[in-house]
Amino acid sequence: MASRVEILNDGGFRSDGRKQYELRDIIIDLSQQGSADGSVVLSHGLTQVSASVFGPREAKMRSQTLHDRANINVEVTIAPFSMGERRKRSRNDKRVLDFASTIKATFEPAIQTSLYPRSQVDIYINVLQQDGGVLQACINATTLALAAAGIPLLDFVCAVTGGVQSASPLLDLTTLEENDIPHLTVAMMPRTGNITLLTMETRLHVDRFEEIFQLATSAGHVLHREMKAAIKDRTRTLVAAMSVAPKAVGEKDPVYSERMDDS
């Protein structure tokens, strides 16, 4: 059956003008949102998500308290306007619950929960716009929000989607590509190379799996550099702001004092 859209043309370009292994532009906004301990708005191309982290703090329900480590609570919401069909998904929607469960399982090996027994880390994710790679965007946004909140991590968790069109591997898929070709999402820890997530919603031939998997993990290192640079820039900004100490109460401004003396 022929593809409904031209995924990859004869010149080696995809429908959005990218080459096979080219990632979409990533935009990271780590400015503070509300009362969250750490927050981010992240865009992979036209896909945009926000993530906010609160904690570690006391669990709201005793049943969620773990005596030897912190409990990770993940809640995902998908904005009705985030995609073409205006379908409102509640927090109890199966796809939303699966998303939250997947993200929680992805970060349990990365967060040092043993440092905060009997507490809870709340992660709230809001999908604002969808154009493929929604799970990878949610995972990458969660990593950045956790780092911004100062939650101890063993390593970053970086995720990317990969697929194959005929015999041609592709990275960082759009919605058109995800709907038309077999694909997988890989989340990895760059420093150790450990894989915290590997999920496939479509069938992928075993002969193509290893190639896509290797390309996705290599792309994870590229994303790691971008994400690490964003965290470093934010840290420099915070340190610079802290170094400008406010004047103590009653301390005279030297310029103002000099003018008063002259008068």
Q: What percent of the chain has pLDDT over 70?
A: 87
Average pLDDT over residues 54-79: 90
Query: Terminal CA-to-CA distance of the chain, rounded, Å?
Result: 89
**Residue 237 φ/ψ region, left for φ over 0, alpha for ψ in the -120 to 50 degree band, beta for the rest:** alpha
Average pLDDT over residues 119-148: 97
Per-residue tokens: 27:
């935009």
Query: In which band, very low, low, confident or very high, does the pLDDT at 4 lie, cut at 50, 70 and 90?
Result: low
Residue type for 63, please?
Answer: S
pLDDT at position 221, please? 97
pLDDT tens by residue, 149-187: 999 999 999 999 999 988 889 999 999 999 999 999 999
Class of domain 26-243: alpha beta
Between CA 94 and CA 16, with CA 106 as vertex, the angle to 5 degrees is 75
In 3D space, the residue among 40, 45, 5, 6 whose CA is nearest the CA of residue 25 turns out to be 45
Q: Decide: pTM greater than 0.85.
A: yes
Query: Is pLDDT above 70 for 15?
Result: yes
